[in-house]
Amino acid sequence: MTEHSQCRITIQNLYKSYSTAPDQQTQVLEDINLDIHAGDFVSVIGHAGCGKSTLLRLLKGLEQHQQGQILIQGKQPAEHLPNLSIVYQDHRLFNWLSVTENIRMALHQIPLSKEEENRRIQEQLELLQLTPFKDAYPSHLSAGMNLKVAIAKSLVTQPDILLLDDPFAGLDALMRHHLHEELQRIWKTKKITVILATQDIAEQFSSRDAG
C-alpha cells in the first residue's frame, strides 16, 4: 500500500457525467482527488449545481462514476454501506412517527436487543439535547430540531463516516450557526469522519483548521 493506507477515504482521478440529452453528456465532476483521514471534518463548498450532492451520492454508493476510483478503507463504496450514514437536506423523517420512533427506524436492519436499541436511542437523544422532545412529532418541531432528529437518526447506527448534504440550507442564520457549532461538538465527542457539503462559505470549518 501507498501513503493512502492511513486514509479513511481516497478519491483518485474521479470523473462523473450525466446524460442530459441524446448524445449529450454534462460533466459534473472532473479529475477530483482527495484524501480524507479517519476523524477528519471536511467541508465541501461550492455554488449550486457544482456537484456536491453528486460527490456524496458516489461516496454512499448510490451512483456510479465513469472514471477514477473511490476507496473507503480500501473498499468500493457499495461494499461499505453499514458504517457510513448520510443526512439529506430534506431530512426524510416520517411525520407519523415520534422523534424516538423516527430514530429507531434507522436500526430496523440491525439485529439488536430492545434494550440495546433503547440505550442507543437514549444516547442520541442526550447527545443532540432532544430528550424533552422524544415523544414529539416532526410536524410539531422547528426545522432546526428536525435536523437534529435526522442527525440523531444517522448517528444511532454508530457510523464511522457521516455525510451531510447541505443540511443547514433553509435555516435562519442564527440556527445555522448554532447547529454548525453543535455539529463540531458531536464530531469531537464521537470522533467520526464528517464530510459536510455546503454552499455557505462561513461553514468552511475543517479539522485541519482546528489545530
Ligand X SMILES: Nc1ncnc2c1ncn2[C@@H]1O[C@H](COP(=O)(O)OP(=O)(O)OP(=O)(O)O)[C@@H](O)[C@H]1O
Interface residue list for ligand X (CB under 6 A):
18, 20, 28, 46, 48-54, 166, 199
Residue 167 binding partner per list ligand X, Mg ion, none, with a CB distance cut-off of 5 to 8 Å that depends on partner kind: none
Name the residue nearer to ligand X (CB basis): 54 or 146.
54
Task: For residues 103 and 157, give the distance between their C-alpha atoms in angstroms, rounded to a whole number.
Answer: 10
- Interface size with Mg ion, residues (CB under 5 A): 2
Residue 96 binding partner per list Mg ion, ligand X, none, with a CB distance cut-off of 5 to 8 Å that depends on partner kind: none
Q: What residues have CB less than 8 Å from 128, skipping those under 6 apart?
A: 148, 149, 151, 152, 182, 186
Shortest distance (Å) from residue 11 CB to Mg ion: 17
Name the residue nearer to ligand X (CB basis): 18 or 96.
18
Interaction of residue 53 with Mg ion, rule CB under 5 A: yes
Helices (H), the chain: 52-60, 99-105, 114-127, 143-155, 173-190, 207-210
Residue 135 sits at φ, ψ, to 5 deg, of -100, 5
Name the residue nearer to ligand X (CB basis): 40 or 166.
166
Let me know: does 102 contact 134? Beta carbons within 8 Å.
Answer: no
Residue 133 sits at φ, ψ, to 5 deg, of -110, 15
Residue 107 binding partner per list ligand X, Mg ion, none, with a CB distance cut-off of 5 to 8 Å that depends on partner kind: none
Shortest distance (Å) from residue 52 CB to Mg ion: 5
Distances from the Cα of 192 to the Cα of 49, 55, 170, angstroms: 27, 19, 26
The C-alpha cell that represents 51 in the structure block: 456537484
- Edge-to-edge strands of the sheet including 193-198? 41-45, 193-198, 161-165, 84-87
Shortest distance (Å) from residue 50 CB to ligand X: 4
Name the residue nearer to ligand X (CB basis): 51 or 159.
51
Shortest distance (Å) from residue 195 CB to ligand X: 13
Name the residue nearer to Mg ion (CB basis): 52 or 148.
52
Q: Which residues bind Mg ion (CB under 5 A)?
A: 52-53
